Structure 1
Amino acid sequence: MNLFGFTFNRKPKSSTQAKERLQILLAHERGSGPSADFLPMLQRDIVEAIKRYVQVSDDAVGIRMDSIGDVSSLEINIELPADQKDAAKADKKAAAKG
């Protein structure tokens, strides 16, 4: 019986896993040439991950990717509600739009 295994055997954090996925995705995209086909899928995955912790509408997330030479940058803008009342308003607004 391993008493310390239970205490120290923890799952990796979701932020670490997300970072690794982004690094793999960006490395793959750099190797295959410029393509923005993955951005909608990436945006959906990021919004789903954020929604696990904070109520945010799909419209509150903006993603932009730029490439200058051999350097690529991924910019993610997320508008977080100030409090739960604002989150409820954002949900109602998103439901009214679609």
Structure 2
Amino acid sequence: MSLLDYFRSNKKANSASLAKERLQIIVAHQRTERGAPDYFPQMKQEIIEVIRKYVYISEEQVSVQLEQNDDNLSVLELNVTLPER
């Protein structure tokens, strides 16, 4: 089950499968941060603070990922879910 399927599903899952899905999301998130530089958590927090100057968001509304490929290129991906007006 993908992350999008989890949010699209309207059926009630039992607590064991729900806990398993949540754990998979947490593990996937931690794997993306494993190879990140030491300054990465502080940079993420500062990005959140800048966005909060204009609109309130929680940390759950921000996803920051750092991808590195074999060509020594790094891609910083920032996804922000902004509140409705």
Which bin holds the TM-score, normalised by the shorter protein?
0.5 to 0.7
Structure 2: distance between partners of 1:53 and 1:76? 17
Aligned to 1:54: 55
> What is the count of residue pairs matched by the alignment?
50
Aligned to 1:70: 72
Q: Deviations over 1:42-96 (max 9, x none)?
A: 110000000000111111001000111221100001010012xxxxxxxxxxxxx
Q: TM-score, normalised by structure 2?
A: 0.54
Structure 2: distance between partners of 1:74 and 1:44? 14
Instruction: For 1:72, give the aligned amino acid.
Output: S
Instruction: For 2:74, give the aligned amino acid.
Output: S
Helix, strand or coil at the partner of 2:82: coil
Answer with 1 or 2: which has the greater Rg. 1
Contact 2:36-2:66 within 8 A present in 1 as well:
no
% identity of equivalent residues: 30
- Deviating beyond 2 angstroms after TM superposition, the runs of 4 or more aligned structure 1 residues are none
For structure 1, list consecutive stretches of 5 or more residues without a partner in the other structure. Answer: 1-33, 84-98
Q: Deviations over 1:12-46 (max 9, x none)?
A: xxxxxxxxxxxxxxxxxxxxxx6422111011000
Q: CA RMSD in A?
A: 1.4
Higher percent of residues as helix: 1
Q: TM-score, normalised by structure 1?
A: 0.47
**Pairwise mapping of residues 8-87 of structure 1 onto structure 2 (< 5 A)?**
35-68=36-69, 69-83=71-85
